[in-house]
Structure 1
Amino acid sequence: MEPSAWPVPPPFMWQCTRCTDLLQQVILHAITAAGSGSFAEQLTLARHIVADHPDDVPGPHGADCSLCTHYAKHGDVDLWEEHRARDLFMPARAARRM
Structure 2
Amino acid sequence: MFILELTYTAPLDRIDALLAEHVAWLQEHYAAGVFVASGRKVPRDGGVIVAVGGGRERIEGIVAGDPFVLAGVAAYRVTEFLATTTAPALEAYRQQLPA
Q: TM-score range by the shorter chain?
A: 0.3 to 0.5
TM-score in terms of structure 1 length: 0.35
- Max Rg structure: 2
Q: Which structure carries more helix by proportion? A: 1
Q: Which structure carries more strand by proportion? A: 2
Bigger relative CO (Cα 8 Å, ≥ 6 apart): 2
